[in-house]
Every structure is written in structure tokens, then in C-alpha cells.
Chain A
Amino acid sequence: MKEKYLGLLEENGILTSQHSSSIKKYYCTRPFSLFQELRALMYLGVILLTSGLGILIYKNIDTIGHTALIGAIAIACGYCFYYAIRFARPFDYGKVVQINIAYDYILLSGCLLFLALEGYLQFQYNLFGDAFEIATLIPAILFLISAFRFDHIGVLSLGITSFISLAGLIATPNIISMVDGFSSEMVFTAIGVALLLILAGWYLKTKNLKKHFTFTFYNFGFNLLLIALITAQINFALPLLYFIILIAACGLLFRYAVIEKSFYFLLMSVVYAYISVTIAFFTWLDSGAAALYYFAFSCAGVIYFFINYKKLFKAN
């Protein structure tokens, strides 16, 4: 296949035959990369080993004993963090490539083991009692610090998740109240947390501190914000207000997507805006055939927008 392309390039006088044959030689002799395959095997190995060990421990808990098990998890977790600290590259505000492929996995395992350890202690000895807030606060802080220190996006996602759960716990201390449906406290907490995350991402970007974390912050922040706003639009009074805020947020996200050339955020902003517009349409207008007309015309509009958004923005 490559020979064919090289032949075409040669025919059109872009490459000399000598240049082309040296390129051919490069492709013939370059090593075959097993990077992806070995990575996949490592990943699979970790999953198999942990699930196998989990079942083994579950079946033999009577003979092993809780204390021994907790001790083992604590030692493993401690070793992972020791390794992470011992072999970490110096801190930098940019991207940091750690010493080897295994490093990232070891750090991630350390964090997951920490969660397992904490959960075990809580389940077996009721360590934190009813103070779930503390139980979520500790991993949130630990993971966020680790993510920044060791430059790990996976751990950052874990940290943000625990942070969001912490906020959720503070907002609805009584778990049962969540069953009744969306309380206004929950939705407003979600909006607040989301704004905080978006602000954090924006701050990192503008100050050029770990700029590559912005995507993760925005991803969590905007998803949470837009879902909360859609919930508010459906359930609360003044749906028009939430609708307008949501469209504005989508506009912001769209602007960011265009500037950063992120097609993921572009799709996200359009889909959330479309959902919101559709909800608004059906709350104000309620008839069978109109729905078909609405979907036909609105989808055509969105498709037109997707194909032509570049032109539309150049015109502006």
C-alpha cells in the first residue's frame, strides 16, 4: 500500500527515486510496535488478577481473617504510593512523562487500593461512623494532590468524582430524601459544584498551570451543569430562566470548542442545547403531528449547522 503511494509521489515528481527508496527502506526495517498490545495485556492482567483475588478472598475470608486482609491491602497501597513518590519526576506545570508505562498503573492501583482499604475499614469497624463526609473528603484531597503532583489524569478524574460526591453528601445528608426525586438543594449544589469545576479549569488554562487538566475539569463541570439545568428546566418553576441559562452555557461551551478545535465539546454543546429546546417545545406545544414536523425540521437544521458551522463562523 505504501509502495503504491510512494510510486504515485514519484510519478508526480515530488520525490526522487532515491529518496523514495530510502523511505521504503525505513518502512521495511522499522520495528513493529507492540505498544498497544502489551498495554492491553497489562490492563487485562490487572483486571483478571484483581477479580480473581477478590473471589478467592471472598471464599476464604474465614481462614484469612479481616485483620490480615486489611494489613495486606494497607501494605500494597503503601507500597504503590511509596513507588510513586520514590520514582516521580520533578514537578512541572506542564505535562510530565513518568519513567515507564507501569508508573501510571501503579499510582492508579494505589489510589484504588486506598478506596478499598477505606471502604473495608468502614464496613468492618465502622471507622467513620455516620460521618460519610470525612470518608469522602480524605480520598478527594489525596487524589487531587496526587493528580497534580504526579500528573495523572485518571487520578484527577477519581479526585473530582470524590469531590462531587462530597458536595452531594453535604447537600443531602439524608440519603432517603434523594428517593423522593430531585430536591432543589441537590440541583443547586450540582450547579454550584459545576461552576466551581469550570472556574478551576478556566483558571488552570489562563494561568498556564497544568493546562492539559482543563479538559477533564470542563468535561465534568459542563456535563454536571447542563444535566442539572435540564433537571431544573423540567422540574422547577420558571423553566424559561433555566432554559436561557442553559443555552448561554451551551454557547460558552461551543465557543470554547471552536477555539480549542474540540469536536467532542462541540457535539456535547449542540446535543444538550437540542435536548433543552426539544423539552421547551413540548412543554409549550403539545400535539401529535406537530412533533413529527418539529423533529424533521429541527434535525435538518442541526445537520445543516454541523455541516456549515465553519462557514458561519468565518462569516462572523
Chain B
Amino acid sequence: MFHNRAEAYALALPAAVFAAIVFLVPVGLLLSEGLHGPGGWSLSAYVQFFSEPLNQKIFLRTLKLGLMVTATAAVIGYATAYAIVSMPAGTKGRMIGLVVLPMMISPVARTYAWIVILGRTGIVNEALKFVGLTDAPIRFLFTETAVFLGLLQLFLPLMIISLVSALENLPKDAVPAARILGANWLQVFVKIILPLTREGLIVGGTLVFTGSLTAYITPAILGGSKVLMLETLLYQQVTVASNFPAASVIAFLLIAMSFSANILLRRIATARSGK
């Protein structure tokens, strides 16, 4: 441990100052734009934004889809992570590799694939026609379902990885012991697995939730203007409507949601290290 304070600052400050100039200043200015009214400071931009029923709907839809994607990822994530953890070491490594693989691929490409699957002449529609379930193609694209699937595909790996490392720290005998003592699977999950892997679930959940809130490509391609989310609404407000106060309000909402999720995560992490 070195004690020269001037040296320490000389090393650490460039990075901090850089982040401040590139991030804090412009983003701060953008946020303050939403707090200016005709006569000085005011919340009128916020009042105006939320008095629009469509904006309320988009705000709630963004939250709803974020929560749905997170909850679904958690359920699927536990089942998958449990299956992976109970495998022999070599296979386990390969399975984790396969789960991580999609994260290396451009989100543009990953979202694009869903058009091939869900489009008018896509795989799902052709299959339905072949089986004779429909004559006319069903519209899947530009629905909440399409956005939901796209987001889930994008962020599920993060949840699985978090839960795999949490489950690996579970004492090996805990689950068999509970089973021998007569607990059913639901009891084992609620009383043993859930409390012991809570932190992994929270880390994964925060990553999936903030990821879903702040994803742009998926709602843009799979939702379009029919299923606007906060990110795509922000883009539209700037490029189509040139409504900067509204853009500032949306920016605030996105930052606030992302910040709260991160603070929650950090608080839980420090509560853990403190005990």
C-alpha cells in the first residue's frame, strides 16, 4: 500500500474527470432541460408528459415488459441453471459456453432472426399453415409478444450465468438432505434453494430488468411504432416531434429506473459483506 496522495490522484483523476465531462455534464444538461418551464424552473414538462394517455401506456408497458421478461427469465433460469450445475464438469463448461455464445453476436443480428421466425412468411406462420391451423398469416411481428420474446432471448443468458454461479455455492448435501427428511420439490425450492441463491437471483434480475428497460433495437425492430417502449418513444420524440422537454422526461425516467435497480443491488451486496 502506497501513501503518496498526490500520486494517487494523478493516477485516478484523469479517468474520473473524463467520465464527468463526457457523461455527467451533457446528461445533466439534458435532464435540466425537462425542468425548465416558460417562467424558470418548473415541472410542467413532466405534467404534460404524463397527462398524455399514450405516454402513460408506454411507461406502464415498458415496466410491465421489463418485469415479465425478468420473471420469466428467473423461472427458466433456475430450471436451466439447476440442470447445468448437476452435470459433470466437462459438459458443464461446454453448456455454459453455449449459453454465453449468443452474447457474442450482434444484437442487430439476434433481433433480425426473429423476423425470419415470426414474419408473415416466417417459420411459425408456414408451420401453422402446413398443419392447417390457419389460412391467412397471423401477425406476430409488431406485437408485445414479439418484443417479449426478443428481449427474453437477449437477456436470458445473463440470468442463467448468475444463477449457475449461485447454485454452485449451494452446499452439495442441502437438497438431498431436505428430500430425505420428507420435503417436496416446492418446499425444497422455497425453503432451501431460494434463500441460499437469493443474491444470484438479484444480480441476474437487475441485469435482465435494466437490460430490458434500456434495450433499443429489439423494441425498434420487433415492436415498431405499434408497440412503442420508452427507448423507442425517446427516439421518436427527438427525430419526429423535436420535442426535447419530453425527451428529457423520458431520459430521466430511464435513468431513474436503471439507478434504482443498481442501488438496490449494491445495498444487498453491502448488506451481505457486512454480516
* Co-complex (A, B): no
